[in-house]
Amino acid sequence: MTVYRNPIAQKLLEAFSQFHKLNWKQSPIVGLKSSEIMVLYSIKKRTPPESPGIKVSEISSALSVANPTITQLINALEANGYVERTMDQEDRRVVRVKLTGKGETTVDKATGAFFESFNGLVDYLGEEESNRLAEVLAKVYRYFSELKRDNP
């Protein structure tokens, strides 16, 4: 039986498994889901002060999810006053999304806690190891993406 063949592969699999179920996106501190926080964060990150807002499709590609996923998240965020939608004047198919004041302060609070824990992680691992980890993970990502591309 093929099951135990490569102990390193086995070890890696187990590490992935464990890591995968780690909830590092945590902190619904502020009553928002992680996915909502990610959306707010990616709006904030890509919206300069006087911008009319970011496109829905820009958010979804930033987060690598499908458009309808973002639409739905935005629906809830708008209903709760975290973001505003406006229609783009130049191209009226596109919707511009930006943070409200409430959205701003909320995302600051949420990402504060969030980055604090990541800063702690960098301290825990050390800067060099942290960098290396980020790079190796990117490499792993590439590997599986290629694998998927090559076998349909």
Partner DNA sequence: ATATAATATTTAGGTAGCCTAATAATTTAT
Partner DNA sequence: ATAAATTATTAGGCTACCTAAATATTATAT
Q: Draw the binding track, 85-124, toward DNA (x: CB under 7 A; -: no contact).
A: x----xxxxxx-----------------------------
**Contact between 145 and DNA per CB under 7 A:** no
Question: What type of residue sits at position 1?
Answer: M
C-beta neighbour count of 83 within 10 angstroms: 25
Name the CA dihedral angle for 68, 72, 75, 78, rounded to a multiple of 10 degrees: -100
**Contact between 87 and its own copies per CB under 8 A:** no
Contact status, residue 55 vs residue 15, Cβ threshold 8 Å: no
Query: In 3-state terms, what secondary structure has residue 96?
Result: strand
Q: Draw the binding track, 123-152, toward its own copies (x: CB under 8 A; -: no contact).
A: -xx-x-xxxxxxxxxxxxx-xxx-xx----
DSSP states of 105-149: HHHHHHHHHHHHHHHHHHHHH-HHHHHHHHHHHHHHHHHHHHHHH
Which H or E run includes 97?
Answer: strand 95-99
Q: Which stretch binds its own copies (CB under 8 A): 20-28, 72-80, 83-91, 94-102?
A: 20-28
**Contact between 46 and its own copies per CB under 8 A:** no
Which positions touch its own copies (CB under 8 A)?
Answer: 1-3, 5-6, 8-24, 26, 38, 41, 44-45, 64, 108, 111-112, 115, 117-122, 124-125, 127, 129-141, 143-145, 147-148
List residues near DNA by CB under 7 A.
Answer: 21, 25, 33-36, 38, 55-58, 63-72, 74-75, 85, 90-95
